[in-house]
Amino acid sequence: MDSQLEVDLDVGGQAVHVGTAHFTRRGRAVTTTFTYSPGYLARRDAYAIDPALPLDAGRGHTTGLPGAFADSAPDRWGRRLIEKAWPGPASISEVDYLVGVSDHSRQGALRYRRPDSPAYVADGHEIPRLVDLGRLLHASDQLAAAGRHHDTDEMHAVRELLDVGGTTLGGARPKASVIDADGCLSIAKFPHPGDEWDVMAWEKTALDLAERAGLQVPSRHLTKVDGRSVLILRRFDRDGTARRGYASAMTLTGLTDGGSADYLDLAAAIADHSTRPDADLAGVWHRMAVFSAIHNIDDHFRNHGFLHSPGGWELAPAFDVNPNPDPNKSRVTSIGGATSSGEERDALLEVAPYFGLTADQGVEVLAEVTAATASWRAVASSNGIPEHEQRLFNDVLPSPPTRGSAGHSRRSPTLQAASLHLPKTPVENETRPPGTPPPASGRFGF
Ligand SMILES: Nc1ncnc2c1ncn2[C@@H]1O[C@H](COP(=O)(O)OP(=O)(O)OP(=O)(O)O)[C@@H](O)[C@H]1O
Ligand SMILES: [Mg+2]
């Protein structure tokens, strides 16, 4: 069965028709043909909504949804809600998930209409306010506790979450869109009954530490609902009522879910697509240093994103940052091939030149990051995490500073840049033509 959607793009608060998407479905499999509209192509501010859909081609074919569409479609949590409410035995396709998302809170700047209607799909959801969090958390708990069989309570919970546009965002954790006390669109991330520690308070702690260490992170606050932590994050893809274009690192690198990815792939995508490559490369290296210091390992390419500004793409703030208490768990995105915490520091310094830093500068940033994150216990306490739970994280968070040191991680042997025999790199050897990406993923052969 074929279907079609008209696609608009919010440009500075104005909806602009960007093109038409034609979907061919065979069972659950979808192919998309996207054609830019001549009016959009004629605009001076037109930009490719996805590198796989270049403006000069005018039209592009994709198996499944183009990455840009997938970034505005739900991930596991939202899909689950849509599946629960799905009538009858007919199979659900990627297009059904895409149109199941609330337009008001849809990620990024893309909006979709059916050809015969001026209204956006799915319009008409009322985004709740913070006072409704108790009701939403209760509904989310009911869903988490539900077995395979749909009972009335579960379906009531599903309806409640769908009615407030609960499918909007990606990610697996229960969440809902809410309007915060300042009237701004925000995300509420909920605890899950299966959580073994106060995951939301730790995410708040990790973001606080990341900010102290110099990263840009979303505005946020932690609130208690029935004594449980709910994290409220201001949406960085909104500017009042205007929407900012958003592309995940998955879309800009052209990689796919479940495949292997390396931060060097991200460096290559930044070289190709960023409007401020030097700042973004340095920003990603800084981010890796912080993620390594706090053992934030769930750093897949949907957990990095880019925002569109008039000149092009730029790195979005860091989000979904959370320490994992198991030091033996590997990082999802490798750092120059390294995935285990024991090899990360060496790897960070080895790849530093590909991110525009000398090894000396890298050592300096690592020391600053370690110093900024060493106070993690005080930050965790300020977020209401009791000492006995803090002890769970002793093995993965920096040890307290000792006399004469800025404090360093238990797994970070002090490495002098001078002892590293780094290869010639773009920083030291300007032979790499501008814009040439660094080597692709995998531990590169020095
Ligand atoms: N502050 C924010 N502003 C705008 N969009 C955001 C923000 N935080 C997260 N997002 C978007 O929402 C999606 C889901 O959020 P997040 O990654 O925090 O959820 P999660 O359920 O913990 O994810 P995961 O499945 O990776 O654990 C992100 O992939 C990103 O696209
Ligand atoms: Mg995520």
C-alpha 189 – ligand 1 centre gap (Å): 9
Pocket mutation for ligand 1, best pick of 72, 320, 331, 333 (most atoms within 8 Å of C-beta): 320
DSSP label at 122? T
Residue 302 in contact with ligand 1 by CB distance below 6 A:
yes
In the prediction, which pLDDT does 180 show?
93
The dihedrals phi and psi of 176, each to the nearest 5 degrees, come to: -145, 155
Task: Decide if 36 contacts 58 (C-beta within 8 A).
Answer: yes
The residue whose CA has the least distance to atom 26 of ligand 1 is 171
The residue whose CA has the least distance to atom 9 of ligand 1 is 319
Q: Can you tell me the distance from the alpha carbon of 267 to that of 410, in angstroms, rounded to the nearest whole number?
A: 28
Q: Can you tell me the distance from the alpha carbon of 301 to that of 290, in angstroms, rounded to the nearest whole number?
A: 17
Would you mind telling me the total number of residues written for the chain in this entry? 446
Pocket mutation for ligand 1, best pick of 319, 321, 322, 332 (most atoms within 8 Å of C-beta): 319
Task: Decide if 440 contacts 265 (C-beta within 8 A).
Answer: yes
In the prediction, which pLDDT does 81 show?
83
In this structure, which amino acid lies at residue 159?
R
How many Cβ atoms sit within 10 Å of the Cβ of residue 183? Answer: 8
C-alpha 304 – ligand 2 centre gap (Å): 8
- Per DSSP bridges, beta strands 59-63 and 305-309 are unpaired
Terminal-to-terminal C-alpha distance of the chain: 52
pLDDT of 274-322, one tens digit each?
999 999 999 999 999 999 999 999 999 999 999 999 889 999 999 999 9
The residue whose CA has the least distance to atom 3 of ligand 1 is 235
Task: Decide if 197 contacts 298 (C-beta within 8 A).
Answer: no
Domains of the chain, CATH where assigned = 4-113 (no CATH), 130-234 (3.30.200.120), 242-393 (no CATH)
Q: Can you tell me the distance from the alpha carbon of 291 to that of 286, in angstroms, rounded to the nearest whole number?
A: 9
pLDDT of 343-358, one tens digit each?
999 999 999 999 999 9
Q: What is the CA radius of gyration of the chain?
A: 22
Q: Can you tell me the distance from the alpha carbon of 388 to that of 303, in angstroms, rounded to the nearest whole number?
A: 29
In the prediction, which pLDDT does 155 show?
72
Q: Can you tell me the distance from the alpha carbon of 97 to that of 77, in angstroms, rounded to the nearest whole number?
A: 11
Query: Does the global pTM surpass 0.75?
Result: yes
The residue whose CA has the least distance to atom 18 of ligand 1 is 320
Under-70 pLDDT residues of the chain: 89, 124, 146-153, 164-171, 401-446
Angle at 106 between CA 103 and CA 108, to 5 degrees: 125
Structure tokens at 290: 């912080």
Angle at 360 between CA 356 and CA 365, to 5 degrees: 75
Q: Which residues pair with 224 in a beta bridge?
A: 229
Q: Which residues pair with 228 in a beta bridge?
A: 225
